[in-house]
Amino acid sequence: MNSEFTVRPMRPGELELVLEWARQEGWNPGLDDSLAFHDADPSGFFVGAIGEVPVGSISVVKYGDSFAFLGLYIVHPDFRGKGYGKAIWNAGMASAEGRTIGLDGVEAQQPSYRKAGFEPAYKTIRFGGIAKPAPQSPQLAQAVSDKTDGIARYDSSIFPASRPEFISAWCTSRKGRKSAVVRKSGKIRGYGTIRRCYEGYKIGPLFAADADTAAALVAQLVTEANGARIFIDVPADNAEAIALAEAIGLEPVLETMRMYRGQAPVIPLKNVYGVTTLELG
């Protein structure tokens, strides 16, 4: 390992660099993900650098005092096999000491994560394709306004921790990004976001009280894609979510495993029709 190698917090502009590495790895991040990612936990992003040159990365985003999520674990191909990845991993894990840590791992990496103390919780299937119109629903989805406090409270009933700063940034409408919410008698029944990615669009999260609500959200969100490919990461245990993805013409393209080190949180997967992101949980 180079004697000038250090692991340090990311500096301005480096998260965009790492997301470009993620694109090169085929992970297909959103075009403007860095804005909301940073707001989730500004202290949660690290690079390994030789001198001033970043060669690898990890994010361990902390949601409160008990939960964190690991992603963006990348060593640039030119610097692999030199021990940098292990040092970056160790620094990232240490930053969330005492918390349950989650991640989404592809099959090839799952044995390594098991050795590091992560245990499988449930499989996630990425569905992709050109979306057909969603099934008719008696619910009606509306665009999200600037006020996201209610959505953040609803989100925290499904996601393992409260993340209001992230939700505020994630649900902000701008070019290539749209969020929708379904309310009934004034109460939120579900919400979702679609965003432009390097290839097509991704829907996530897609949280809903039932299949009709999820269908109403999808019907609203897919119009943003204007015929481009759409991807949704669906928990394999949610049969209704899989049925909805198939109903709009999507097919499986990738599988990952949600894994946790520490006490696995209890998540109502029946309400998760689409995971937020594989990087932040």
Which domain CATH number covers 228? 3.40.630.90
Asked whether residue 161 falls in the same domain as residue 263, the answer is yes
35 vs 52: CA distance, rounded Å: 23
119 - beta bridge partners?
A: 260
Whether 222 is in a domain gets the answer yes
Per-residue pLDDT band for 150 (boundaries 50, 70, 90) equals very high
Asked whether residue 20 falls in the same domain as residue 66, the answer is yes
Asked whether residue 146 falls in the same domain as residue 99, the answer is no
Its domain, for residue 40, covers: 5-103
Asked whether residue 20 falls in the same domain as residue 74, the answer is yes
Asked whether residue 129 falls in the same domain as residue 268, the answer is yes
Asked whether residue 60 falls in the same domain as residue 152, the answer is no
Whether 112 is in a domain gets the answer no
Asked whether residue 80 falls in the same domain as residue 181, the answer is no
Asked whether residue 130 falls in the same domain as residue 253, the answer is yes
Give the domain-ending residue among 72, 103, 134.
103
- For the ranges 85-99, 107-121, 126-140, 178-192, which has the lowest average pLDDT? 126-140
145, pLDDT greater than 90:
no
Higher-scoring residue by pLDDT: 141, 278: 278
| Half-sphere exposure of residue 193: CA atoms within 13 angstroms, side-chain side | 28
Give the domain-ending residue among 40, 68, 103.
103
Region for 89 from its dihedrals, namely left if φ exceeds 0, alpha if ψ lies in -120 to 50, beta otherwise: alpha
Whether 279 is in a domain gets the answer no
Per-residue pLDDT band for 139 (boundaries 50, 70, 90) equals confident
pLDDT in tens, 111-130: 999 999 999 999 999 999 99
User: Mean of the per-residue pLDDT values for the chain?
Assistant: 94
Count of domains observed in the chain: 2
The reported pLDDT for the residue numbered 173 is 81
- Torsion angles phi and psi, residue 59, rounded to 5: -120, 135
Which domain CATH number covers 90? 3.40.630.30
Asked whether residue 75 falls in the same domain as residue 173, the answer is no
Asked whether residue 209 falls in the same domain as residue 151, the answer is yes
Whether 110 is in a domain gets the answer no
The reported pLDDT for the residue numbered 3 is 72
Asked whether residue 45 falls in the same domain as residue 142, the answer is no
98, pLDDT greater than 80:
yes
1, pLDDT greater than 90:
no
128 - beta bridge partners?
A: 231, 251
pLDDT in tens, 231-259: 999 999 999 999 999 999 999 999 999 99
230 vs 193: CA distance, rounded Å: 12
Whether 190 is in a domain gets the answer yes
pTM exceeds cut of 0.75: yes
Residue with tokens 């269908």: 215
Nearest to 37 by CA among 163, 157, 156, 150: 163
pLDDT in tens, 44-71: 999 999 999 999 999 999 998 999 999 9
Give the domain-ending residue among 40, 70, 103.
103
Cα angle 211, 277, 88 (rounded to 5 degrees) comes to 155
260, pLDDT greater than 90:
yes
Whether 25 is in a domain gets the answer yes
Asked whether residue 87 falls in the same domain as residue 195, the answer is no
